[in-house]
Structure 1
Amino acid sequence: MSKVNSEELGTKPIGALLIKQAVPASIGILVMSLNILVDTIFIGNWVGSIGIAAINVVLPVSFFIAALGMAIGIGGSSIISRALGANNDKKALKTFGNQITITLLVTITMVVVGLTFIDQLIPAFGGKGDIFDPARIYYRVVLYGVPVLALAMMGNTVIRAEGKPKFAMVAMIIPSVGNLIMDYVFINILDYGMLGAAWATTGSYILCLSYIVWFFLSKNSELKIRFSDFGFDYEILKEIGALGFVTLSRQAIVSVTYLLLNNILFDLGGESSVATYAIISRMLMFALFPVLGVTQGFLPIASYNYGAEEYGRLRETINKAIGYASAVAFIVFALIMIFPETIVSVFTQDAQVLRDTPSAMRWVFAAVPVIALQLIGSAYFQAIGKAGPALLLTLSRQGFTFIPLILILPQFYGEFGVWISFPLADILSTIITGYFLRKEVKTTLMVDEKSNQDIKAT
């Protein structure tokens, strides 16, 4: 197996590597976020603000099931990167085969469950009143494509684990562009409304997976699995499960957060408040694309160098990733603070939503400059295979801080209590992550690096 590409993760200068990994990841996330953003704009202008609220209700369910694929992908990709760093080709191939098998089994099961309880799930996630019918239409069709999306998300993380970020970027761009084209055709030209939006989304998943299958069958991939690699290796599955559970827990908490926020905001302000949150959540996905890109670029570099026992390079990777991500996070913060009214007006002309959303958006983004440490810190523990700390830090933001805040503060401050919960949770979780990351660097990385130097000296 050729190691030309993966070996670069352990030899090239860290700054250049981060840029090489992060820029394609950022572009991919940007295009994917633009896809979600434009999708929302299309529906807001051609279907109405109720359509925006309906999509926001469905997202937690489809995100959670799709997150199964991402969880399996990230958990397995950490193993693959470390295996490549340790020159263990057999383990890398077996891991990839097991990822495919378990993704198919789990996501198909979850889709069956999701369709069975469709009328119970939609109201539970805030799909009440006028929101219910369009949400049900969108939910059913999008759910059909979730196993395809899960496989695509899993495959995309493996491509990045091989050290081929440009192919991973293309894998994200293709479905995004396809979705926008199909949105225009199905919603505007054919006038299918919510049904058209749903089929455009599902069709984009199929385009994405088609490209990823081509990549792994072509000479571009180092991972040429055999039929025997699909058989379960329980030690590998155990490790995939432990690391993937971190990502799955993160997405599960996100889904629970959507459920709570949609219901709390509906009770506080009705459909317009749910629409306000829908717009803000799209901006969170879109505006933070460069920060998330640096985080995605950081993962394979950290995993590879940990597997290769290059602890000095790993510490440098942590420091530079936090620095780069913090810089772009501050730029995002500045833009949101200056132009919230302009941003909101692109989505809708609903007077109440236009009036309420800019102020709420400013509060939600108020602590964005500090989130880089939280994201890189939790990603580090996942990259090196330490599932316990990774899970703790992943849950610290949404589970341990944000959810209690949104349950308590709105009782005293109404809708404002919801929006102020965002920056408070960001600050608290960043403090927690900073403590654990600093302790890890001082007590583990520096000690292991010194031990390696002593061994080499003898």
Structure 2
Amino acid sequence: GAACATVVGQFSAFVWVLSHFLSRKSSIHFKRHNKWLTWSIIKRIYAIGLSPFLMNVCACVVVIFINRALLDYGGADGNLAVGAYGILNRTTMFFVMIVFGVTQGMQPILGYNIGANNFDRVKRVLRLGIWIGVAITVVGWIVSEGFPDVVSALFTTDETLVGIARDGFRIYFICYPVVGCQIVIQNFFQSVGKPQMSIFLSLTRQLLFLIPFLIIFPRLWGVPGVWASMAGSDIIAFVVAVVTLWWWMGHTMKKMELNARNS
């Protein structure tokens, strides 16, 4: 039933979006004389879309490592530990998807103003986006750290599962406020036409840091080590994102500003 609901939901969304672009009442709709895809357009589409694609692929790979570690080190409660991760994952995605909504709203504004050499507005939008992103994940941190049992009760009534999830919330979400900043910075580079940097930042947390931590930490601390792996990768990925943004602002953007003034 859940699988059928997923398929029906996706198909319904597809029909709704397609009907919008086929309707002549919409301001932007398909016409016969519209320019069809060319290789240059396709390359630009792939360049921009490659970052979120790789991030989703890496997320799937990471879930395999996390579930495997929980089963291996969870003992008799290994299956319950996997269930607890499901609760934590759904909770974190609730707030992360809101941040993604903010970054998607920022994209056209950033893209337009970087093309128009309006760098002051680019900086203001980025600064505002970071503040909003951090505020959203701070709310998630307060909810998860302060009321873990209440959140878990939305998913299950099993007391053992609630207890495992409680420990997971306390460790996993300890660095959660910085996640909003990391996501905004990562999507900022995608918005200003720097997909390579966006891909790099998307891979740092999920491949370069998280998978090695998942190999090492659970051997030291068991299931709590799995939760600590995710928290540790979050804080390091945040530092890398901030340093990358600081370097790009101090070098590349300054050159772009000088070139715009000289021209």
The reply to whether TM is greater than 0.5 is yes
Matches within 5 A, 1:125-144: none
1:327 is the counterpart of 2:135: yes
Instruction: Give 5+ residue unaligned stretches, structure 1.
Output: 1-195
Structure 2 counterpart of 1:256, which letter?
A: V
User: What TM-score does the superposition give when structure 2 sets the normalisation length?
Assistant: 0.92
Name the counterpart of 2:115: 307
Measured in 2, the distance between the counterparts of 1:320 and 1:366 equals: 24
Q: 2:211 aligns with which of 403, 409, 415?
A: 403
Structure 1 counterpart of 2:49, which letter?
A: G
Q: 1:213 aligns with which of 11, 14, 18?
A: 18
* CA shift for structure 1 position 260: 1.0
* CA shift for structure 1 position 223: 4.6
* CA shift for structure 1 position 227: 6.9
User: What TM-score does the superposition give when structure 1 sets the normalisation length?
Assistant: 0.54
Measured in 2, the distance between the counterparts of 1:331 and 1:283 equals: 12
Question: Alignment identity in percent?
Answer: 29
* CA shift for structure 1 position 451: 3.1
Q: 1:412 aligns with which of 220, 225, 229?
A: 220
1:427 is the counterpart of 2:249: no
Measured in 1, the distance between the counterparts of 2:160 and 2:143 equals: 23
Which shifted more, 437-446 or 252-261? 437-446
* CA shift for structure 1 position 432: 0.6
Partner of 2:88, secondary structure, is helix
Summarize the Cα distance change of 1:330–1:387 in structure 2 as closer, same or farther, 3 Å threshold: same
Instruction: Give 5+ residue unaligned stretches, structure 2.
Output: none
Name the counterpart of 2:61: 256
Q: 2:189 aligns with which of 378, 381, 401?
A: 381
Which shifted more, 421-430 or 342-351? 342-351
Summarize the Cα distance change of 1:227–1:352 in structure 2 as closer, same or farther, 3 Å threshold: farther
* CA shift for structure 1 position 228: 6.6
Partner of 2:111, secondary structure, is helix
Name the counterpart of 1:14: none
Matches within 5 A, 1:307-386: 307-386=115-194
Summarize the Cα distance change of 1:329–1:308 in structure 2 as closer, same or farther, 3 Å threshold: same
Structure 1 counterpart of 2:193, which letter?
A: G
Measured in 2, the distance between the counterparts of 1:442 and 1:255 equals: 35
TM-align CA RMSD: 1.8
Q: 1:294 aligns with which of 102, 114, 120?
A: 102
Measured in 1, the distance between the counterparts of 2:47 and 2:102 equals: 24
Partner of 1:347, secondary structure, is coil
8 Å contact from structure 2 (residues 134, 178) kept in 1: yes
Structure 1 counterpart of 2:199, which letter?
A: L
* CA shift for structure 1 position 225: 4.4
> CA deviation digits over 1:313-339, x for unaligned, max 9?
111111111112112221221121111
